[in-house]
Chain A
């Protein structure tokens, strides 16, 4: 199984809502990532988890809260988002080894904040 799955595919939420994005992989990868991608732009790294521990936080606002409950699952909890947070949120995973660190991406969650 070489697939990264993400749910939901689409999400519309108000600025006062709390919602969560879910990502799952069963490739045995021990690094998992969240990216944000705006239209016509490259993905921007948000968070990196290595061995279920947060290793990189790219100065992301606290209204985004990541969680890695186990080696296969990655969540992104959303609260009090702003309209400018509307974007495609991509999850990825990769092996941790001597490299190269090719990342496997999920299909993304299209988030709209109203």
Chain B
């Protein structure tokens, strides 16, 4: 079965500092991987997706993620945090040919001025 694990339910960074949110996946087949962001009282917005075309994926708002098969990881990074990045971030995985998304438990990012 597909699953993802997000290490750290809460991450705090200073404004301008590197953002690193961790996601490890468990899959018996090459997965499709996604990062979503959720601002308070809003729906989820797709940040980026991994589709096997390239291991380094660039998304919106300056975020990127690198797929590392040897580490079964898909960590999300951003070089310099902005106050507007404060939100909940979810990593998700799906199988090819499946309609289901399996979400991680989420990481709340706080940005300190």
Contacts and interface: CB of A to CB of B under 8 A. Distances in A.
Interface in A12-46: 31, 33, 40-43, 45
A72 B109 CA distance: 34
Interface residues of A, number: 30
Interface residues of B, number: 25
A71 B58 CA distance: 31
A42 B99 contact: no
A42 B34 CA distance: 14
18 contacts: A4-B43, A6-B43, A41-B105, A42-B103, A42-B104, A55-B99, A92-B44, A94-B99, A96-B99, A98-B96, A98-B97, A100-B34, A100-B49, A101-B99, A102-B46, A105-B43, A105-B44, A110-B41
Interface of B: 32, 34, 36, 41-46, 49-51, 90, 94, 96-101, 103-106, 108
